[in-house]
Structure 1
Amino acid sequence: MSYQSIFRPCLFAGQTLIVTGGGSGIGRCTAHELASLGATVALVGRKADKLEAVRAEIAEDGGQAHTYTCDIRDEAVVADTIRTILSEHDNVTGLLNNAGGQYPSPLASINQKGWETVVRTNLTGGFLMARELYNQHLSKTGGAIVNIVADMWGGMPGMGHSGAARAGMVNFTQTAAVEWGCSGVRVNAVAPGWIASSGMDTYPEQMQQWIRGLRDAVPFKRIGTESEVSAAICFLLSPGSAFINGDTLRIDGGASQGTAVWPLPKAKNNEPFNGFHRATTPKVLQD
């Protein structure tokens, strides 16, 4: 089987697109879809073995990908990584800033090191990747950047460090869209809600029941798929979004729009889209 994208074949043929955090989850899924649409994918992440596994999957499916080990929180390493990618590939047209991470904790229990680590991962790293690609290349050629944020509207209780960083990334997205638009660079963000991704299995056991109940707060009464996020990312990287700039697209089934005051009845007429032929259901959601 191959990726069942909704987009036309060869949409990204002849282009190289950079995906950070491409070794798992949404990054892995999007890398597969981009490759299936003809792109050469530059997979960037800290763990070489995970990147290599995804590269091998893409190659087995007939696509092209290359791996680059990089800690996006290290300014010098990021600059060198971008320089290497540009020296090895022609026509680098875009970046998916997907790499991130956090851990559950109430604000009162987060120490400075934990706070700064999460902010560096979810905000500073994305800024460094975008800035370096812009300064070294996109400022001359134009292109597109998509930043992954999160559903943090109304606060992010239990993960305040991540919520603050993601909110900062939304503002960075808006600022970069204005400052870099004159160079033909579009900068947008995608805010996934509750998505059935491998990251769900990284949280402690005491959170598993809470995770299983998340679907009840979504009007569709289901969790989203990685493919539904990837499709939005591919659109924002494509020519079809040529006049979209500085926006943040929520992919949460409407969960961020509601309140506890309005009851959610039983849902119908909504089937998930899952074009990723290698997708697996997180263990925490397996019945």
Structure 2
Amino acid sequence: AMNRFSASVFRSGLFRDKVAVVTGGATGIGKAITRELLYLGCKVVIASRNEQNLATATKEFQSIIPKDQEPSCISYTACNIRNEENVKSLLSEVLRKHKKLDFLVNNGGGQFFCPAGDTTLKGWNAVVETNLTGTFLMCKEAYNQWMKEHGGTIVNIVMENSRGYPLAAHSGAARAGVDNFVKTLAVEWASSGIRINSVAPGCIYSETAADNYRSDVFSQVRARLPCK
């Protein structure tokens, strides 16, 4: 279970009555983002394919939200971001429930380690469709269903891959695609009052990552960090 909210650099309630969608919001980075948004007073809908993870995370969030917020400020919808109809339904449900959408956080994604020469087409397509196509579909529907006429903010979680991403060429290529896609949308959609950016963190520990990556990954990364 999560602990109570730790101190934030922002004022509690700063995003009072704002509405956010966070994909991949039940685990890892997305879970931390959701936690901060709730502290700031946001109403948050988390989405991912794993409904059990979503339900568990939602229950945890409801146990720690500020006392002046209703439990309904956090909710979830199961959604495969690779599926266009799923994405359309997710955004429609959010707008039906909350009547608006202020923030979209495209955090959902994933990859597996494999040398490029051994990567199957099926594996390549799965990673590219999740990280790149999924981001496209989420942005497109948020734009067409709400932000085109009302503006909004979109944040895309990518990764630091300026030196390539050995053993994850599929993910590196997809995230680089997202980066350029975002630069394009920033220009195309500026007139609608939409701000869109990418955030590229380095290696972040999470239980999900620890379960999926080999055991020495984090110790190797830590050894290369100049500040500890």
What TM-score do the two structures reach when normalised by structure 2? 0.92
Aligned pair partner of 1:211 in 202, 214, 218: 218
Following TM superposition, the consecutive aligned residue runs of length 4 or more in structure 1 with deviations greater than 3 angstroms are none
What displacement does 1:91 show? 3.3
Give the superposition deviation at 1:210: 3.5
Report the 3-state secondary structure (helix = DSSP H, G, I; strand = E; otherwise coil) of the residue aligned with 1:189.
Answer: strand
- Distance between the aligned counterparts of 1:94 and 1:153, measured in 2? 27
The structural deviation recorded for 1:110 is 0.4
* Contact 1:150/1:191, CA 8 A, preserved across alignment: yes
Match of 1:236 in 2: none
The one-letter code sitting in structure 1 at the alignment partner of 2:36 is E
Whole-angstrom CA distance in 1 between matches of 2:203 and 2:90? 31
**Alignment equivalent of 1:37, drawn from 40, 54, 67:** 40
The aligned amino acid for 1:219 is P
Q: Which residue of 2 aligns with 1:200?
A: 209
Contact 1:16–1:90 (Cα < 8 Å) also in 2: no
Checking the alignment, whether the CA contact within 8 Å between 1:3 and 1:32 is kept in structure 2 is: no
Counterparts of 2:34 and 2:220 in 1: how far apart (Å)?
29
Please report the RMSD computed on the Cα atoms of aligned residues, expressed in angstroms: 1.2
The question of 1:60 aligning with 2:67 is answered no
Q: Return 5+ residue gaps in structure 2 as ranges.
A: none
Map 1:180-259 → 2, pairs under 5 A: 180-204=189-213, 207-221=214-228
For 2:51, the equivalent position in structure 1 comes to 48
- Shift of the alpha carbon at 1:9? 1.2
CA contact (8 A) 2:100 2:146 kept: no
Alignment length (residue pairs): 219
Kept in 1: contact 2:127–2:174 (CA 8 A) = yes
Amino acid at match of 2:135: G
Question: Structure 2 CA distance, aligned partners of 1:84 and 1:151?
Answer: 33
1:115 aligns with 124
Q: Which residue of 2 aligns with 1:141?
A: 150
Shift of 1:186: 0.5
Q: Which runs of 5+ in 1 are unaligned?
A: 222-287
Following TM superposition, by how much is the alpha carbon of 1:199 offset from its aligned partner in structure 2, in angstroms? 3.0
**Compared CA separation, residues 85 and 153, structure 1 to 2 (3 A):** same
Identify which of 8, 15, 19 aligns with 2:11.
8
User: How far apart are residue 202 of structure 1 and its match?
Assistant: 2.4
Where does residue 174 of structure 1 map in the other structure? 183
